[in-house]
Chain A
Amino acid sequence: MNPGRRRALRVLAGTASATATVAAAPAHAARAPKTVPPEAMGMLYDTTKCIGCKACVVACREANDLAPDVSLDGLHQAPLDLNGKTKNVIKLYKEGDRISFMKSQCMHCVDPACASACMLHSLQKDETTGIVSYNPKYCVGCRYCQMACPFNVAKFEFDKAVPKIVKCELCRHRVADAKLADDGGFSRYTRGHGPACCEVCPRGAVIYGKRAELLAEAKRRLAANPGAYVPRVYGETEAGGTQVLYLSHVPFEKLGLPDYGPQGVPHTAYTIQEGLYKGFAAPVALYAALGAVLWRNRKKTGEGGAEVKP
């Protein structure tokens, strides 16, 4: 191997290891786990109380001005799942004699993958209430949030020429807009605070409040009726914790709530990304090193310059 090449390799190797050290150091100080915001709001859904009346599905639609989803048969509003017109849905789990309803909507994760995926913070977690909100103003419709969400909550209006992401936002518009005009009396849902689904539920199967209080209530129920529930509050730690909590009398996996560990979904990707690009130091260092190597090589061989015809 010629000495010039040897030296070039040495320089490159040195630069590479220096860059790696620079990058690795902050990477080892891995990204700190996200904590629950102080005034985090949430919901508690108890499958033992739900009767599957679907009033919450209708209420959500009216409160959010969503078009009815009659794609099933053209007659009935029967969404199969959350979709571009449905932010809240009741599903049925049935296996032999075991039956449970399952209310499905955004979990408002403590460490939301969707917000971490979004390039311009179109999806954003509120620092105080922890509500994960969506603002189409900065959305390019890339659907990375859909790829990232571990609960497949974020839905997209694929059938529209001007599409948006659609997902539950805990009716934050109702909280902000408490003084809405009287609409003639027939919609009970245009006024009030908190999510429409909680307001309309006839049996209190889903309730709204501070996450800390809901968690305490959930634990109280578990302690008071140990045989009635799976002994766990889903959302306490799963995927870094969620602000919508679940109590169930059947295993959570059966309801479509997977057994996620306590690590937030963005943890690995963000540890690497934030580690590698911290302060943009590594890219700048690599650029300088590359420039130096190229300069030296060019000087040595007189070649490798612009391809200019003699």
Chain B
Amino acid sequence: MSSHPSVHREVGGPLLTGSYRVLLAIAALGGVMMLWRFAAGLAAVSNLNDGYPWGIWIAFDVVTGTALGCGGYAVALLVYILNKGEYHPLVRPAILTSLLGYGLAVLAVTVDLGRFWELWKVPVYFWRWSHSPQLEVALCVAAYVFVLLIELSPAFFEKWRKSPDTGLRSFAEKGLAVVKKSFVWTLALGILLPTMHQSSLGTMMLLTGPKLHPLWFTPWLPFLFLVNCVIMGYGVVVLESHAAASAFSRRRETEMLGRLSKVAMGVALFFVAFRVVDIVLRGRAGALLSWFGVAVLVELGLLVAGALVLMSEANRRSPGPQALAALLLVVGGTVYRFNVYLVGFRPGENWSYFPAVPELLITFGIVALEIALYVAAVKTFPILAGEPAPARA
């Protein structure tokens, strides 16, 4: 495949469609619940308790949400480190998803923190820093959001370059020049930072010691989280590409996604094998004969199913199986993270937790907001590559 500069174009079109309004309504409902949470405290809107202090906001919005935002990281590894330029058109939309995923994870953290107004002290009081893995995640994620913003900025600048406003035009030109010059060092950060914090998300749960079930407690947990986020990143990129092509009537990037899916399949199989070998070598295979074992079966089974779909080359070249496999990989990766942070976390048999309705509504609201912002961004700025779909005969 020849290497030619990718062409990004804004999708354009009206923003406030019917389904868009539905998204905004869900996001607004989540927003109202958030206001209630800030006014009345966590107990009023959630079922978080002393046994399960972390619930769906952490397990899904933060831990899974950032993994769903690892498309940028996973694709950057391919394009810029392994020099596979053909995946280049996938980079910018993946960066957008990453920015939204991480940005909204920060919002979710703010909602979840009991004393969020003290958050500014974390980066400022550096002499009080401990070696807590969570500190690393906090600082790293905050820095990464800025890096993503810089990496995505060419999309904004390219649009503002064409603005009738001279001031904005010159700002855009200057911005583009700066970004181009610092590109290598920004991108290096954009690869270093997720490597650090996605693995630390795994280390974090190691600090719960005996409360994390042995089927998941392994010194390799940081490594597993890293591999897991790469799988999920690829899965999200495939799903997102197909969804955007359908939604905005663009030509599908099926061929490129096919080759990407092959990489994803390999990584997924590696993950499953590693997990199984690790459990066996640590002498915990017996623990699989329990409900916790069923959870492991589900998390690995989904990945295996996705990999199986992608085994045949014909499947890899078809959009349907590509999307199905990607769905299985993303869900499997999500189940793994839920297993580590919720299912496999055992504070004691007398404790139970399930999110409350307002708690769920906040999560739905954040997801709806993310989709809404994504649609608004791709319609306004040149982010999606490719051309409009050819008219069907």
Contacts and interface: CB of A to CB of B under 8 A. Distances in A.
Given A119-B134, A148-B208, A308-B180, A269 B203 contact: yes
A275 B43 CA distance: 38
Nearest to A270: B131
Contacts of B51: 152
A308 B209 contact: no
B68 to A, nearest CB: 22
Interface stretch (A34-42, A172-180, A286-294): A286-294
A129 B32 CA distance: 47
B130 A141 contact: no
Given A147-B53, A287-B192, A140 B348 contact: no
Contact of A265 (B41, B199, B204, B207): B207
Given A162-B115, A307-B6, A116 B184 contact: no
A150 B209 contact: yes
Contacts, number: 226
Nearest to A309: B158
B43 A158 contact: yes
Interface stretch (A184-192, A197-205, A296-304): A296-304
A274 B207 contact: no
A8 B83 contact: yes
B354 interface: no
B195 interface: yes
B291 interface: no
A307 B80 contact: no
Given A140-B122, A141-B115, A268 B41 contact: no
A290 B54 contact: no
B83 A300 contact: yes
Interface string A39-53: 000000000000000
Contacts of B113: 140-142
Interface in A88-140: 113, 115-121, 136-140
B85 A308 contact: no
Contact of B207 (A116, A136, A138, A286): A116
A58 interface: no
A116 to B, nearest CB: 6
Given A138-B125, A161-B39, A163-B41, A152 B50 contact: yes
Contact of B128 (A121, A146, A164): A121
Contacts of B217: 268
A258 B347 CA distance: 12
A137 B121 CA distance: 9
Given A4-B83, A156-B53, A272 B188 contact: no
Interface residues of A, number: 75
Nearest to B212: A147
A307 B50 contact: no
B49 interface: yes
B132 A118 contact: yes
Contacts of B42: 158-159, 163
B129 interface: yes
A293 B82 CA distance: 9
Contact of B121 (A138, A164, A286): A138
Contacts of A156: 50, 53, 114
Interface string B182-213: 01110111011001100110011011111100
Interface in B152-194: 154-155, 158, 176, 179-180, 183-185, 187-189, 191-192
A161 B40 contact: yes
B128 A120 contact: yes
B131 A117 contact: no
A81 B41 CA distance: 21
B210 A286 contact: no
Given A268-B206, A294-B188, A160 B41 contact: yes
Contacts of B207: 113, 116-117, 144, 147-148, 265-266, 269-270
B219 interface: yes
Contacts of B116: 140-141
Given A141-B116, A277-B131, A307-B88, 7 more contacts: A116-B132, A147-B207, A158-B42, A161-B39, A269-B206, A269-B207, A307-B8
Shortest Cβ-Cβ A-B pairs, 4 listed: A141-B114, A141-B115, A143-B53, A265-B209
17 contacts: A12-B81, A83-B50, A116-B130, A119-B130, A119-B134, A120-B121, A147-B345, A158-B41, A158-B42, A158-B46, A164-B115, A239-B210, A273-B131, A276-B222, A293-B81, A294-B81, A301-B83
Interface of B: 3, 5-8, 38-44, 46, 48-51, 53-54, 79-85, 88, 91-92, 112-116, 118-119, 121-122, 125, 128-136, 138, 154-155, 158, 176, 179-180, 183-185, 187-189, 191-192, 195-196, 199-200, 203-204, 206-211, 217, 219, 222, 345, 347-348
